[in-house]
Amino acid sequence: MKNLEGKVAIVTGGSRDIGRSCSVKLAEQGAKVVVNYLADKAAGEETVTTIEKAGGTAILIKGDMTKQSEVQQLVEATQKSFGDSIDILVNNVGGMVARKTIDEMDEDFFSGVIALNLNSTFLATKAVVPHMPAGSAIVNFASLAGRDGGGPGASAYSASKGAIMTFTRSMAKELGPQGIRVNSLCPGMIDTTFHDTFTPDAARKNVEASVPLRRQGHPDDCANTVVYLASDAAAYITGANLDINGGMNFS
């Protein structure tokens, strides 16, 4: 029995890395998946092809989740393909952009990082919630950086991720009476292009050697938890910020 049979899911930033794993895993459980992307169409097409080859259903939609008009277009395209109801929203869009100290940052950079991570989560949530029936679920992506402040030059990123954790708790209280659950994940060191770009190999090896599970995480480690939180198996979990870090940090 597929846990999400007949459900409709939107995964923002769903074309690669953790977003791709979430898209594929949701489809494996029977959800009809909307894979959102912004720049890398080829990666999005590859994700949709992977889903379809496995017998799943997915569509690819381009959109900048920091722009309200494009978020609304995403919702409308989803409804045009799969009907009015949207059961699952995975707010995965985000990034660090660059490592900068406060001396190196200007207001535009700081605001841009906040918009990419926090505003995108707000805009997608606001646009999708009116179409979510009771029993629906939202899963946001925060970060271990939101708990511990992140590494050098990550203050803007960490601030945005900490805000997502608080936004998650607030939405859980606000939307709970409607039967909508809201949770977030706080990944640590996950083997993705994010860390390929922003984390030196030596630092990654140090993490592998020091965490209790002695490895970096895999995108599927996050995606499997997303599937759980989106399913009825997690029907009494809301407002949680779940750590996925191999024991690197305990909250």
Which of 37, 157, 228, 236 is the catalytic position? Answer: 157
Q: Is 157 a catalytic residue?
A: yes
d(C-alpha 210, C-alpha 56), whole Å: 39
Q: Which residue has the tokens 């409804």?
A: 79
In terms of Cβ atoms closer than 10 Å to its own Cβ (0-12, 13-18, 19+), residue 101 is exposed
Angle, CA of 98, 47 and 12, to the nearest 5°: 50
The residues that bridge with 22 in the sheet, in sequence order, are none
The residues that bridge with 61 in the sheet, in sequence order, are 36
- Comparing CA positions, the residue from 194, 203, 183, 199 lying closest to residue 243 is 183
Angle, CA of 126, 173 and 235, to the nearest 5°: 95
The residues that bridge with 91 in the sheet, in sequence order, are 140
153 Rama sector, left if φ>0, alpha if ψ -120 to 50, beta otherwise: left
45 Rama sector, left if φ>0, alpha if ψ -120 to 50, beta otherwise: alpha
117 Rama sector, left if φ>0, alpha if ψ -120 to 50, beta otherwise: alpha
Active-site residue list: 157
